[in-house]
Amino acid sequence: MWLDLALILIVCLGVVILGSSRLGTMIQLFAAQSLVLSATPLLVHPGKHAVVMTMGTLILKVFLMPNLLSWAIRHVSIRREVQPLVGYGKTLMLGGFLMGVAFWISFRLELPVRETSNLLVPCAFSVVMVGFLLLVSRFKAITQVIGYLVMENGIFLFALLLLEKTPLLVEMGILLDIFVGVLIMGIVVNHINQEFGSASTVNLTNLRD
């Protein structure tokens, strides 16, 4: 029962991120979502393995990455998100529609999920969809990075299904990779900012045919 609550909370936080416009709040919301996320392995089946997972997510996604992002914001000195591709209201509506699609797909696929709750797969799908929508609809580079991270959270939810199966080494490798990915994105955002004076990807469109 606690697991379902956590899943719903993660999905709602995702939607709130989608709706928010100020970068600072978005980073804090992401940190909150990662916090709830790190709790879920313990809820599914507590054990030595789960503890390591929780600690890993806590260190990386709750402390390290948000600080990195906020450092990037201060460094790049942008506060407010410019109008997204289709306007806030419509993005939220689109988010809702995509969640509907996610639920419909996971229902149609009737994937055999064993002892964990049947809510897990749809929620994971919808968080991935929300992250993707965030990635697609925003112009600021930092927001796109946050969208990418929300999508990673969704993928992490799926990983819960096979918690004790995959060896630890692979788990850590995955987390490490995500971290390095975000690190490089941060560096590139830094370059964008130096070159274009603003971290918005609006003027990143002269490579076309």
Partner 1 sequence: MELFLLAGFPALMAAVVFLLRQDRLRKIILFLTSLVHLFVTISFWQGPRDVQFNPFLGFDAASQLVLTLVSILFFVVSIYLIGYLKEKRRRSNGIFMGCLLCLLSTMTLVTMSRHMGLLWIAIASTTLLSAPLINYYRKPRGIEATWKYLLISSLGIALGLLGTLFLAISAAPVKTIFLADILDNAALLSPSWLKLSVIFLLVGYGTKMGLAPMHTWKPDAYGEAPAPVGALMSGAVTACAFLAVCRVAQICFHAGLQRFVSPIFILLGILSMGIAAIFIMGQKDFNRMLGYSSVEHMGILALGIGLGGGAVWASLFHAVNNAFAKGLIFLVSGNLYQGFRSKKVENIQGVIHRFPVTGIFLILGFIVLIGFPPFGIFYSELLILKEAVTAQRYLAAFFYVLFLSVIFFGYSGVILRMALGRPTEDTPVTAKKENFFMIAPLVILLGVLFFSGVFVPGPFYDLLDEASALLGGR
Partner 2 sequence: MSLFLSSLFILCLGAFLLVLLTRSRAMSGLIFLGTLIPGCLLGAAAALGVLIHRAPIDHRLNLRMPAGEFYLGVDPLSAFFLLTITILFLSAGVYGYGYLKSDKERNLSVHYALYHAALISLMLVVTAKNAVLFLVAWELMALSSYFLIMFHDEKKAVREAGYLYLIVTHTGTFCLWVMFLLMARQSGSMDFDQMALASFPLPLAGALFILGIIGFGVKAGFIPLHIWLPHAHPAAPSHISAVLSGVMIKMGVYGLMRTILIIKDFPEWCAVTLLLIGMISGVGGVLYALGQHEIKKLLAYHSVENIGIITLGLGTGLWGQICHNEFAALIGYAGAFLHVFNHAVFKGLLFLSAGSLIRSTRTGEIDRLGGLLKRLPWTGHLFLIGALAICGLPLFNGFVSEWLVYRALFEGMFHFELNGIALSSLAVISLALIGGLAAACFAKAFGAIFLGNSRSIDITHVTENSVLMCVPMAVLGGICVWIGLFPAVMVSFALGAAATMTSSPISSATEGVIIAPLLTAVLVLSILIGTIAILTLLKRTAMKFLPVEKAQTWGCGYAMPTSRMQYTAASFAQPLLQIFRNVLDYRVKGNRPKEYFPEEGEVSSRVTDAAEDFFFRPAFGFIKSLSAKLKVIQCGYTQWYLLYILIFLLMLLVWKMV
Choice from 109, 118, 168, 202 touching partner 1 (CB under 8 A)? 109
Under the criterion CB under 8 A, does residue 197 sit at the interface with partner 1?
no
Under the criterion CB under 8 A, does residue 206 sit at the interface with partner 2?
yes
Helix (H) or strand (E) holding 208: none
- Nearest distance, CB of residue 175 and partner 1, angstroms: 11
Instruction: State the number of binding residues for partner 1 (CB under 8 A).
Output: 40
Per DSSP, the three-state class of 50 is helix
Choice from 158, 168, 200, 202 touching partner 1 (CB under 8 A)? 158
Choice from 96, 117, 196, 198 touching partner 1 (CB under 8 A)? 196
* Residue owning tokens 């509506």: 93
Under the criterion CB under 8 A, does residue 68 sit at the interface with partner 1?
no
Residue 159 contacts which entry, partner 1, partner 2, none (Cβ below 5-8 A, type-dependent): partner 1
Choice from 51, 101, 170, 180 touching partner 2 (CB under 8 A)? 101
Under the criterion CB under 8 A, does residue 88 sit at the interface with partner 1?
no
- Using CB under 8 A, list all residues that contact partner 2: 85, 101, 105, 108-109, 132, 135-137, 201, 204-209
